[in-house]
Structure 1
Amino acid sequence: MSQEKLLEMTRSLVEHGKADTMELVDEVMAVSASDYTDEDRFEQEKERIFKRLPLMVAPSCELPEPGCYKAMDIAGIPVLVTRQKDGSAQAFLNSCTHRGNPVAQGSGKATRFTCGYHGWTFKNDGDLLAVASPKDFGKVDKAAFCLQKFPTLERAGLIWATLDPQSTLDMEAYLCGYDEMLDHFGFKDWHLFQQRTLPGPNWKTAYDGYLDFYHLPVLHKDTFGSDFFNRANYFFWGPHQRLASPSKFAQKTGSDEELDLTEMEEKDWPIDALMQGVWTIFPHISIASFYGGGGRGAMISQLFPGKTVSESFTTQFYVMEYEPTDDAVRQGAHDQFAFLETVVAEEDYKTGKRQHESLQSGLIDKVWFGRNEGGGQAFHQWVNKLVEADEEELNRIFAPQLQAAE
């Protein structure tokens, strides 16, 4: 079914490309400028979106084998993600059950974690292994002092976690079948080539750019070129969406050559032609395919809110279908990743910071999303909907989405 959906979307993109048209939503939409700048609203978004919904915490290839781990901070919550002995991924509260000190920092490989405060030691699966000076400390039921687990799900080569141990939200239902589409990338077998973290503007200001091709030939005229496409059609799975340019052309795997899909049989359309465009996972992930030195790759951008309404940070993972085995491919991938840093850090995020500073003047009442910006419209509608939903409503929202995807 997911393969047929890919073909259906590609047929639509080809037909619109041939006709020089695009899909438009019904109306222009306004969003209150204060939605970007209000501190109370920002705190509400952290609490009701980032601390309640499943978040993509790592690509699977970041933790390629048992023992691999990474520590991270998400909206003020210390998180530890590990690859356990049985190969499964698990996210924990990175907080010692003795006094709360984090038990891990950075990333690496370890079978156990020892708290740097008093020396309590935990296994890679979160179980409490040892209490320092146990005779002096007193009797402890170790089973009651394991690291606190977060609901965790690994699908399509990506790892999700919900940062609420008591969450009743069905994580598979939340994905609305979108993970089946993402599985066509084949990320579970890909290689993590490089990663870096960039500072950015307000998280929604930053994310608007990932949902927008309209700006490409203007803001990126010096990098992509002023004749670059600026149209996108949008496809939705609940709050998750794909945007792709309506065109009959697709890049040939591993080269700069373009394929005219109308001159090929559908059975010969390559998978990367079917997966072109940008795939976003609400509320904070963008996935875009690229080529570097002949190697097929993708940049997975993982966006989180910062400490204030004006800040965010984005970790960019450059993943490749195959680990480079020669200098030419390796250099090409490095150059591609460096180019993308310029595009995002020097163009997108610098513009976003200036935009946010302007909105903070309080003299602009609304910002606008056109009929050609349906992805941005949908994103803000989902933010509002989920911020306002209580726990019961949250479960109700996503239960029918999974049924619809089936």
Structure 2
Amino acid sequence: MALARDADRQEESNMSRQKLIEMTRSLVKHGEADTMELVDDVMAVPASDYTDEDRFEQEKERIFKRLPLMVAPSCELAEPGSYKAMEIAGIPVLVTRQKDGTAQAFLNSCTHRGNPVAQGSGKASRFTCGYHGWTFKNNGDLLAVASPKDFGAVDKAAFCLKKFPTLERAGLIWATLDPESTLDIASYLCGYDELLEHFGFKTWHLFEQRTIPGPNWKTAYDGYLDFYHLPVLHKDTFGADFFNRANYFAWGPHQRLSSPSKFVQKTGSDEQVDLTQMDEKDWPIDALLQGVWTIFPHISIASFYGGGGRGAMISQLFPGRNVGESFTTQFYVMEHEPTDDEVRQGAHDQFAFLETVVAEEDYKTGKRQHEALQSGMLDKVWFGRNEGGGQAFHQWVDKLIKADDAQLDAIFTPQLEAAE
């Protein structure tokens, strides 16, 4: 049985690697021809989609509280007993690594009076509510009621922490913040997780993390789906000659964008490798994974090479308290934990550089953009034929806001998704 499972996994890996090769082949072809894939037409989005408070509340309810969200990279909860408490769209969430090694997300709310049972992050085999002392195991089971004789009889099995549907794939942990959700998380990922597996995140090391404030969540996310702005907004950081074109590949609402080119950066150096001079079977995995990988509605993954060590920044975006605010936790993960000062300092410098790019350039621009839109003087904003990723993102936001709970299951069944 184990050998059969291993064979199935190997076959899936071979098939998904072939998909990566096919995408890279397309990027090389467009790079040689100096072309890019364009969508059929420009598209307008109502400016009020970014500024209307009622619309914002609807997005939180219909998207962030109904769809699977990536709550943590696996390496953030690397050991049994690891946990973190967080808030998502007003919902207190507790994510734990249980004794058996599985990950589970819970409502971080004591079943006695609702007080959160955990704060921050760390390691714990149990959580004791700071209000009345009810104690829960790491797996959510109610372990003990304070002063049980005084309180009265309690069926402990009926007072466990409320579980959220949870799935761990590709070194990432997803949860749906609706305990009654019937939406299958694997179906929601549309096979995208099989490609993400090739990063190998399940064995990577969490080097650093931080949380930064940002503009409206869609304003922020637009930037992750846009290479068009790179040589303009980031001319003093990335450089004015940086590429501004991207081809888009989609799996349901999840998108990868990558620059059409036959050249890729060699791991750990500034050297450029010409893929046309190599046999496809020898293309390195980091060349096959170049670009930005986004997971709807709030994740961006991009590769970097600070200090010569292979790394990636996983950006986790959530809406804030009002329509003009968001916050993003940036996880800098590395293929190997740095073992010498040079690599360690290089990775630290790379992560610091990315904070400048995102916080001081992308998000400050987004704040100014949002303030200008709040004037109400523009009816629409526009996405060009070269901005297909942004067009698809806003189309999916509209589609999923309008879908009722029953329709969600149908939208993400693999058969229907493949037919669309």
With the shorter chain as reference, the TM-score category is over 0.9
2:116 pairs with 1:102: yes
- Give the structure 2 partner of residue 142 of structure 1: 156
3-state SS of paired residue (1:362): coil
Aligned equivalents of 1:272 and 1:176: distance in 2? 22
- The residue correspondences of 1:301-312 to structure 2 (distance < 5 A) are 301-312=315-326
Question: Which amino acid is the alignment partner of residue 343 of structure 1?
Answer: V
Pick aligned residue for 1:219 from 233, 242, 246: 233
2:392 pairs with 1:378: yes
Question: Which amino acid is the alignment partner of residue 386 of structure 1?
Answer: L
Aligned equivalents of 1:197 and 1:71: distance in 2? 14
Number of equivalent positions:
405
Pick aligned residue for 1:335 from 349, 355, 366: 349
Task: Provide closer, same or farther for how the CA distance between residues 401 and 340 of structure 1 changes in structure 2, counting only shifts above 3 A.
Answer: farther
Aligned equivalents of 2:390 and 2:171: distance in 1? 26
3-state SS of paired residue (1:350): helix
The answer as to whether partners of 2:252 and 2:417 remain within 8 angstroms in 1 is: no
After TM superposition, give the deviation of residue 267 of structure 1 in Å: 1.2
Question: Which amino acid is the alignment partner of residue 68 of structure 1?
Answer: S
- Give the structure 1 partner of residue 12 of structure 2: none
- Give the structure 2 partner of residue 67 of structure 1: 81
The answer as to whether partners of 1:173 and 1:401 remain within 8 angstroms in 2 is: no
After TM superposition, give the deviation of residue 268 of structure 1 in Å: 1.0
After TM superposition, give the deviation of residue 393 of structure 1 in Å: 1.1
- The residue correspondences of 1:10-89 to structure 2 (distance < 5 A) are 10-89=24-103
After TM superposition, give the deviation of residue 308 of structure 1 in Å: 0.1
After TM superposition, give the deviation of residue 400 of structure 1 in Å: 3.6
Pick aligned residue for 1:231 from 234, 245, 248: 245
Provide the TM-score with structure 2 as the length reference. 0.96
After TM superposition, give the deviation of residue 403 of structure 1 in Å: 6.3
3-state SS of paired residue (1:396): helix
Question: Which amino acid is the alignment partner of residue 242 of structure 2?
Answer: F
Runs of 4+ residues deviating >3 angstroms: 400-403
2:386 pairs with 1:390: no
The answer as to whether partners of 1:238 and 1:401 remain within 8 angstroms in 2 is: no
2:14 pairs with 1:3: no
Unaligned runs of at least 5 residues, structure 2: 1-14
Aligned equivalents of 2:416 and 2:400: distance in 1? 17
Aligned equivalents of 1:396 and 1:15: distance in 2? 36
Unaligned runs of at least 5 residues, structure 1: none
- Give the structure 2 partner of residue 122 of structure 1: 136
- Give the structure 2 partner of residue 197 of structure 1: 211
2:273 pairs with 1:294: no
Pick aligned residue for 1:242 from 250, 256, 259: 256
Task: Provide closer, same or farther for how the CA distance between residues 402 and 173 of structure 1 changes in structure 2, counting only shifts above 3 A.
Answer: farther
- Give the structure 1 partner of residue 180 of structure 2: 166
Deviations 1:332-385 (A, max 9, x none): 000000000000000000000000000000001000000000000000000000
Deviations 1:35-86 (A, max 9, x none): 0000000000000000000000000000001000000000000000000000
Deviations 1:93-145 (A, max 9, x none): 00000000000000000000000000000000000000001111010000000
3-state SS of paired residue (1:108): strand
Cα RMSD after superposing both structures = 0.8
Pick aligned residue for 2:168 from 151, 154, 172: 154
Question: Which amino acid is the alignment partner of residue 58 of structure 2?
Answer: Q
Identity among equivalent pairs (%): 87
2:106 pairs with 1:92: yes
3-state SS of paired residue (2:239): coil
Deviations 1:229-251 (A, max 9, x none): 00000000000000000000011
The answer as to whether partners of 2:264 and 2:275 remain within 8 angstroms in 1 is: yes
The answer as to whether partners of 2:47 and 2:378 remain within 8 angstroms in 1 is: yes
Provide the TM-score with structure 1 as the length reference. 0.99
- The residue correspondences of 1:278-293 to structure 2 (distance < 5 A) are 278-293=292-307
The answer as to whether partners of 1:173 and 1:402 remain within 8 angstroms in 2 is: no
Task: Provide closer, same or farther for how the CA distance between residues 402 and 253 of structure 1 changes in structure 2, counting only shifts above 3 A.
Answer: farther
After TM superposition, give the deviation of residue 401 of structure 1 in Å: 5.4
- Give the structure 1 partner of residue 277 of structure 2: 263
3-state SS of paired residue (1:293): helix
After TM superposition, give the deviation of residue 255 of structure 1 in Å: 1.3
- Give the structure 2 partner of residue 277 of structure 1: 291
Aligned equivalents of 2:279 and 2:142: distance in 1? 58
Aligned equivalents of 1:27 and 1:8: distance in 2? 26
The answer as to whether partners of 1:187 and 1:321 remain within 8 angstroms in 2 is: yes
2:327 pairs with 1:313: yes
Aligned equivalents of 1:68 and 1:402: distance in 2? 38
- Give the structure 2 partner of residue 178 of structure 1: 192
The answer as to whether partners of 1:18 and 1:247 remain within 8 angstroms in 2 is: yes
3-state SS of paired residue (2:305): strand
Deviations 1:198-241 (A, max 9, x none): 00000000000000000000000000000100000000000000
The answer as to whether partners of 1:37 and 1:310 remain within 8 angstroms in 2 is: yes
3-state SS of paired residue (2:413): helix
Pick aligned residue for 2:378 from 359, 364, 378: 364
